[in-house]
Structure 1
Amino acid sequence: MTQFEVVTRFAVPPERLFDLSLDVEVHTGSMARSGEKVVGGVTSGGMRLGDTVTWQARHFGLRWRLTSHITAYDRPHHFVDEQVAGPFRHWRHDHHFARDGDGTLMRDVVEFAAPFGPLGRVAERLVLDRYMPRLIRLRNEHLGIVASGTIS
């Protein structure tokens, strides 16, 4: 299993960043490069505790589906999404938000495990350990642009 952390500072209050982080359209916008779209569950707006959403995207030339469930929700401080169906043997993404002066310090803590036992662990080390943090940083970059009002 792999765990990594990405810390990003935003010049918006935690409440705004928390809500945007749970917005389905903001998420799909952040993953436009992979053609991500919603194919089930919550299809628009913000998610809340107990909600599920199924995403479909293309990574490594293959189409993937992942259904995530919001398993913890403490606005505006913390929420968790966990895979309930999809390509990973395990996927958990903790989102932490802390006021930092006039902005927010967001801390993403992601733990995941690829399927296929030893072959999956090789894939984690060779590819996913770099690929997944980069996806989170790209998502956060998009989130910052949306939060600043530059795009919607």
Structure 2
Amino acid sequence: MPRFEVVTLIQAPVEVVFDTSLSVETHTSSMRASRERAVAGVTSGQLTLGDQVTWQARHFGISWRLTSTISACTRPSFFVDEQVAGPFRRWHHAHHFQASTDGTVMRDVVDFAAPYGLLGVFADLLVLRRHMTRLIILRNQHIKAVTEASAQNAG
């Protein structure tokens, strides 16, 4: 099963980075290129433990829907979103936050698998891992920009 990690250093307090990461609006604005939006469940505001949201986005020229739930949450250090319905055989995204002298170290650990057996394995290897890694990096760059601007304005 494919797994990847992305580590991002953000010069903002851990609580701010954590809360921003659970914002539906921040997520949708970070995924503007794929026209991602929340279409069911919690569609605005801050996600919390047990919340579900259905995202609709366009990837590879196809419209996709994925419903995820916040299955674990310990503020401000950790939360998990997992697919409960959607295109993946498995989607498990663990978000780790650690305060550091420079702000916050945000670490994303994503385990996923495409459906369709052997065909899905090839898709994972050839396309999905790279595409999903790019999406998480893009999302993290957006969270970094938003939270660092907020920290500068507050300071």
TM-score of the aligned structures, taking structure 2 as reference length: 0.95
User: Which 4+ stretches in 1 moved above 6 angstroms?
Assistant: none
1:17 Cα offset (Å): 0.4
Aligned to 1:98: 98
Q: How many Å separate the matches in 1 of 2:32 and 2:121?
A: 28
Q: How many Å separate the matches in 1 of 2:7 and 2:69?
A: 23
Q: How many Å separate the matches in 2 of 1:102 and 1:68?
A: 32
Unmatched tracts of structure 1, length 5 or more: none
Give SS of 1:98's match. Answer: strand
Aligned to 2:11: 11
1:147 Cα offset (Å): 0.8
Give SS of 2:128's match. Answer: helix
Q: Aligned pair 1:83/2:83, yes or no?
A: yes
Q: How many Å separate the matches in 1 of 2:48 and 2:38?
A: 16
Q: How many Å separate the matches in 1 of 2:105 and 2:68?
A: 24
1:31 Cα offset (Å): 0.3
Correspondences of 1:3-152 after superposition (within 5 Å): 3-149=3-149
The RMSD of aligned alpha carbons is 0.8
Q: How many Å separate the matches in 2 of 1:8 and 1:148?
A: 12
Does structure 1 conserve the Cα–Cα contact (< 8 Å) formed by 2:10 and 2:102?
A: no
Does structure 2 conserve the Cα–Cα contact (< 8 Å) formed by 1:13 and 1:102?
A: no
Q: How many Å separate the matches in 2 of 1:81 and 1:129?
A: 18
1:145 Cα offset (Å): 1.1
Does structure 2 conserve the Cα–Cα contact (< 8 Å) formed by 1:97 and 1:105?
A: yes
Q: How many Å separate the matches in 1 of 2:129 and 2:26?
A: 24
1:21 Cα offset (Å): 0.2
1:148 Cα offset (Å): 2.0
Q: How many Å separate the matches in 2 of 1:100 and 1:133?
A: 24
Unmatched tracts of structure 2, length 5 or more: 151-155
Q: How many residues align?
A: 150
